[in-house]
A and B are shown apart, each in its own frame.
Chain A
Amino acid sequence: MEVLVYLVPLALILGFLGLLGFLWSLRSGQYDDLDGAAWRAIADDEPVEGSPRS
Chain B
Amino acid sequence: MSTTLDFSHYLKPAGDDRLHLDLAVEGISCAGCMAKIERNLSNIPDVTSARVNLTDRRLALEWKAGALDPALFVDRLAELGYKAYPFERAQAETVEADRASALLRRLGVAAFAAMNVMMLSIPVWSGNVSDMLPEQRDFFHWLSALIVLPAAAYSAQPFFASAWTALRARGVNMDVPISIGIFLALATSIVETANHADHAYFDAAIMLIAFLLAGRYLDQNMRRRTRAFAGNLAALKAETATKFVSEHEIRTVPAATIRPGDIVLLRPGERSAVDGNVIEGRSEIDQSLITGETLPIVAEPGTAVFAGSLVRSGTLRVRAAAASEETLLAEISRLLENALQSRSHYLRLAERASRLYAPVVHATAFLTMLGWLAYGATFHDSIVTAIAVLIITCPCALGLAIPAVQTVASGALFGSGVLLNAGDAIERIAQVDRVIFDKTGTLTLPELDVANLASIPADVVNLAGRLALSSRHPVAAAVARAAGANAPLPGIEEEPGQGVRGLLDGQEIRLGRPSYCGAEALAAEILSRDPEASVAAFRHGDMVHVFAVRQRLRPDAAAVIASLQRQGIAIEIVSGDREAAVRSAAQTLGIHEWRAEVSPVDKIARIEALVRQGSKVLMVGDGLNDAPALAAAHASMSPVSATHMSQAVADAVFLGERLEPVATAIEVSRKALRLMKQNLWLAVVYNLLAVPIAIAGLVTPLIAAAAMSGSSLLVMLNALRARRMREVG
Contacts and interface: CB of A to CB of B under 8 A. Distances in A.
B303 interface: no
Given A12-B147, A15-B116, A18-B112, A23 B35 contact: no
Contact of B35 (A1, A4, A12, A44): A44
Contacts of B34: 36, 39-40, 43
A50 to B, nearest CB: 8
A35 B54 contact: yes
B104 interface: yes
Interface residues of B, number: 24
Interface string B45-89: 000000011111000000000000000000000000000000000
Contacts, number: 57
Nearest to A4: B136
A43 to B, nearest CB: 5
B53 A33 contact: yes
B200 to A, nearest CB: 16
A32 B53 contact: yes
Given A15-B116, A23-B108, A32 B55 contact: yes
Contact of B109 (A8, A11, A12, A19): A19
B101 A12 contact: no
Contacts of B104: 26, 31
A23 B105 contact: yes
B713 interface: no
B92 interface: no
B52 A11 contact: no
Interface residues of A, number: 26
A46 B40 CA distance: 12
Contacts of B259: none
B101 A31 contact: yes
Contacts of B30: 39
Given A39-B34, A43-B35, A33 B136 contact: no
B541 to A, nearest CB: 48
A8 B31 contact: no
Given A12-B147, A43-B35, A33 B54 contact: yes
A11 B105 contact: no
Contact of B53 (A4, A8, A36, A42): A36
Interface string A23-54: 10010000111111001101110110000011
What secondary structure prevails in chain B residues at the interface with A? Answer: helix
A22 B112 contact: yes
Contacts of A1: 136
A23 B112 CA distance: 11
A42 B729 CA distance: 34
A36 B112 contact: no
Contacts of B108: 19, 22-23, 26
A6 to B, nearest CB: 14
A1 B135 CA distance: 12
Nearest to A39: B31
Contacts of A11: 116, 119
Nearest to A47: B39
Nearest to B40: A54
B136 A26 contact: no
Given A12-B143, A15-B112, 9 more contacts: A12-B147, A26-B104, A26-B105, A26-B108, A32-B55, A35-B55, A36-B53, A36-B54, A42-B31
27 contacts: A4-B136, A8-B143, A11-B116, A12-B116, A12-B143, A15-B115, A18-B112, A23-B105, A23-B108, A26-B104, A26-B105, A31-B101, A32-B53, A33-B53, A33-B55, A34-B55, A35-B54, A36-B31, A36-B52, A36-B54, A36-B55, A39-B30, A40-B34, A43-B34, A43-B35, A44-B35, A46-B39
